[in-house]
Structures are given as C-alpha cells and as structure tokens.
Amino acid sequence: MAQTTSRLLLLLSLLQARREWPGPELAARLAVAPRTLRRDVERLREMGYRIDGAKGPYGGYRLAAGSDLPPLLFDDEQALALAVALRSASVADAGLGEAAARALASLRQVMPGRLRSRMSALAFSTAPDIATPRRAVPSPDVLTTLSAAVRDLAVVRFDYEPAPGPAADGGLHVDGTEHPERLRHAERRRVEPHALVTWRSWWYLLAWDLDREDWRTFRVERIHPRTPTGPRFRPRPIPGADAGRFVAARFRGAERHDEWPCVGTVVLGLRAAAVIPFAGDGVVEDLGGERCRLRVGSWSWVALAAALGRFDATIEEASPAELVDAFAVLAGRFARAAGQTSASVRAQGPGAG
C-alpha cells in the first residue's frame, strides 16, 4: 500500500507540474504499465481531484483547475524544497521574512517526523551585505501589483523616487514605507512592464519607457504605483531574449548583452590554483609552474587594470592595447601618490610615523 501511495503522490505532483501529459510519457515517468496508470488516475478522481483524460494514440491527462480542488499534497522532495524556499525568504531581506517564517512554522507542524528531522538540518543564515547594511525592501503589495501588470500586459503609471543620497539610510525607510520628503521629488513614469528581476538581492522592474522610447530598469522599492493600470500592450522582444541577462548586462556597463564591455588577457606569475578562487567569471589557463593566463572583463579598462593588480604578482603579455594603456595610467597615478607620500614623510623629519 505504501508503494501505491507514494506513486499517487508522484503522479499528482507530475500533473501539477505540467499542463498536460501524454499517457505513454506519464506511464514511463512512473515506471508502470498504461493499465496501472489508468487505475491510479481513477483513485485520484475518487479522492476528488478533477483529472481530464483524452483517449486514442495521442491521448493524455491534465489536472483541471477548479475551486473545489482538495488540499494539495506534497511528496518528500517537494516538502523539503518548499521548506528551503521558505527558510531562504525568512532569513533574506525580501520584505516577506515574517510571513515566510510563519508559513515555515505551519509547514513544520504538519510534517511527519522523518521530514521534520531532515528539515531541522537545513538551518542556515545569510551573510550581511557590508556595502549596503541598510537596505530598503520592496512592499509585497507593490511586487504583487507589478507582477499582475507583467502578466496582464498592462501599462503601469508610477511615481519613482530619486536615487538615495549620502545619508546613512539613503533617505529610504528600510521597511519599504513611503518617505514623504523623497516622494515630493518623485518622477512620474509610464511604462510597459515586461519582467521582474532579482539581482544581488535587489528587485528590478524591466520595462519599456513610453516617454523615453527605450528599455529601462527600475528599483522596485522606489516605485509607487498609481491605479488603475493603463491599457493593454503588445509585448516587445527583450534584447537577448532573457530579462535576467539583460539586467545583468546593464550593471556591467553593456547595452544589450550580458558581457563586459572591456575584456583583456594577462599572464600572471601565480599558479592557476591560486588564481581560480578569485577570478570571478574570468577564464584561467594553467601554463605550468608559477604561471597562468587570465582572461577577464570589467566595466572600464582602468577598472580592469586595477582589479588585475590585486593578485600581487608579476603581470606579463597584457592585451589588448587599451589594457596596456590603462596600466600606464595607473602607474602614473600610483607614482605621483607615492612621491607625495614620500615628500610628506621627509617633511616631517626623522622619526616621523
């Protein structure tokens, strides 16, 4: 009986994962004969699940949507995956931490003992972002409004707060509430929303700006939607056909593709194994001994040259010429800085420092 129950749970999860399953493919996934699959479908129907079926060589099954659907059931892997997702949301600064923690507690209450012990082993935390210790989080209501607009292809009007100033908290409330002073300087925007994207724990809306006639990315916690939404629009092809890669490209200084605008190559006087952990998305080639070749990118040539200097090793065979010029620029700056420092020390006389 336990084997049959497990198979029914797997069948239900498969039906929930896809809109429609061909009968032979579904039977193959369950490793059962078509006759057994038909019996299992009938058992689920007797339990109240509305499963539509079509006969014939191209027939299949689909789980019909309906308000009278019984409570959802989860197999072990689904329950643990849900626990991990809720745990991640509860420890991350995502604006849903308290709700996720309550949902996680509710899930734990109904978990069988074998899963509860495995779930307890999933305890983890997230390291704070030192660069932005106080982060404004988007309101769940705003996320829901924007998500619905993306789904419905509806034009959105909103007030967009200006970029944070030099204040410790950036002038933004960390709980995502409105800041009256900043809202007085907000800019009215009218866009066609295409996707919500998370990048380095920040939420962004990727949209076509109707007034500027170009793609724009907006930080969600600075968006204050105006209702109702506008008319429907026909979606535009996102450059590169991937919203996430397009947003990442913008932060790399590229216009369209998820590639660094400045890419160079050097030979470092270090073993490849010592460079790989710090190479980021660069490519490391082992040249044997204490030498390796590194191909890496950045948003500018000077920034790339400075990043390569952090390896504290000899640098040879730099290319292209723009990278060589950037090294010369930095060399001049460092030489002037060193000269000024030396002069200052000499002026202070013996025993200074």
Q: What is the pLDDT of residue 169?
A: 35
Q: What is the pLDDT of residue 68?
A: 47
Q: Which of 273, 171, 158 is nearest to 207 (CA)?
A: 158
For range 146-168, the mean pLDDT: 82
Alpha helix stretches (DSSP H) within the chain: 2-17, 23-30, 34-46, 76-91, 97-110, 113-120, 140-152, 180-183, 243-251, 272-275, 301-309, 321-348
Average pLDDT, the chain: 79
Q: Does residue 255 register a pLDDT over 80?
A: no
pLDDT: which is higher, 54 or 132: 54
Per-residue pLDDT tens over the stretch 184-202: 678 899 999 999 988 777 8
pLDDT: which is higher, 219 or 281: 219
Q: What is the band of 62 on the pLDDT scale with cuts at 50, 70, 90?
A: confident
pLDDT: which is higher, 31 or 261: 31
Q: Does residue 151 register a pLDDT over 70?
A: yes
Task: List for the chain the helix, strand, coil content (%; round to 5).
Answer: 45, 20, 35
Kind of pairing between the strands at 292-298 and 187-199: unpaired
Q: Does residue 70 register a pLDDT over 70?
A: no
Q: Does residue 147 register a pLDDT over 70?
A: yes
Q: Does residue 56 register a pLDDT over 80?
A: no
Q: Does residue 19 register a pLDDT over 50?
A: yes
Q: Does residue 319 register a pLDDT over 80?
A: yes
Q: Which domains does the chain have, with CATH numbers?
A: 2-63 (1.10.10.10), 76-120 (no CATH), 140-251 (no CATH), 262-333 (3.30.70)
Element (H, E) at 282: none
Q: Does residue 317 register a pLDDT over 90?
A: yes
Q: What is the pLDDT of residue 267?
A: 95
d(CA 103, CA 87): 9
Q: Does residue 121 register a pLDDT over 90?
A: no
Per-residue pLDDT tens over the stretch 267-290: 999 999 899 888 887 889 999 889
pLDDT: which is higher, 27 or 95: 27
Q: What is the band of 2 on the pLDDT scale with cuts at 50, 70, 90?
A: very low
pLDDT > 70 fraction of the chain, expressed in percent and rounded: 76
Q: What is the band of 100 on the pLDDT scale with cuts at 50, 70, 90?
A: confident
Q: Does residue 79 register a pLDDT over 90?
A: no
**DSSP, res 92:** S
d(CA 269, CA 289): 9
Q: What is the pLDDT of residue 57?
A: 61
d(CA 328, CA 263): 17
pLDDT: which is higher, 303 or 54: 303
d(CA 124, CA 83): 12
Q: What is the pLDDT of residue 328?
A: 94
pLDDT: which is higher, 254 or 310: 310
Q: What is the pLDDT of residue 126?
A: 60
pLDDT > 90 fraction of the chain, expressed in percent and rounded: 28
pLDDT: which is higher, 173 or 335: 335
Q: What is the pLDDT of residue 167?
A: 38
Residue 272 near residue 292, CB atoms below 8 Å? yes
Q: What is the band of 73 on the pLDDT scale with cuts at 50, 70, 90?
A: low
